[in-house]
Amino acid sequence: MSTLTYTTIPTPAGPFTVLADADDTVHAAGFTADPAFLAGMLGSAVPDPGPHDKVTEKVQAYFAGDLDAIGDVTVAYRTTGPFRTKAWDAMRTVEAGHTISYTELAATAGNPNAVRAAGSACASNPIALFVPCHRIVRSDGSSKNFLYGLECKATLLAHEKQHAAAA
């Protein structure tokens, strides 16, 4: 794994910390001010602070209403198996302002019977926002869980719905 550094960006959904390499490839991200938490998800040492201006600009643009700003941020997945990787890729195809169910995620990832594995992919997603697990909901449209809290998830979904409608 490349040498990582971190930066924390204030957002309306709470502090957002990004662990990225020198090329601004994001290895972990989440709504926390604790880089140790994210490093733990990767099984790596806590990185030093470092500037990630390109990623910071994209996150700020997203929260300013440019929902597409984060779509081209490069991410690096941990090696966890083919279905989880497919599920994370499938999450990245869900447009801002929209949600899909865990059942739809499983089908999009290539295994319609893997609904529990789809939920597990959401729960173990180390790259929140850029791999938008917050856009995955229960079949009835409700939110079950979100690593950073249901209030954070609701804030993100409301932000996206508002700005997608305005576009």
With b meaning 16 or more CB within 10 Å and e meaning fewer, what string describes 46-82? Answer: ebeeeebeebbebbeebbeeebebbeebebbebeeee
| DSSP H helices in the chain | 35-42, 53-63, 82-91, 102-108, 115-123, 150-166
Cα distance from N-terminal residue to C-terminal residue, the chain: 38
- DSSP secondary structure letter of residue 157: H
Q: Could you give the residue numbers annotated as active site? A: 133
Reading the block at residue 140, the tokens are 């009835």
What tokens appear for 120 in the block? 């597990």
Instruction: Kindly report the length of the chain.
Output: 167
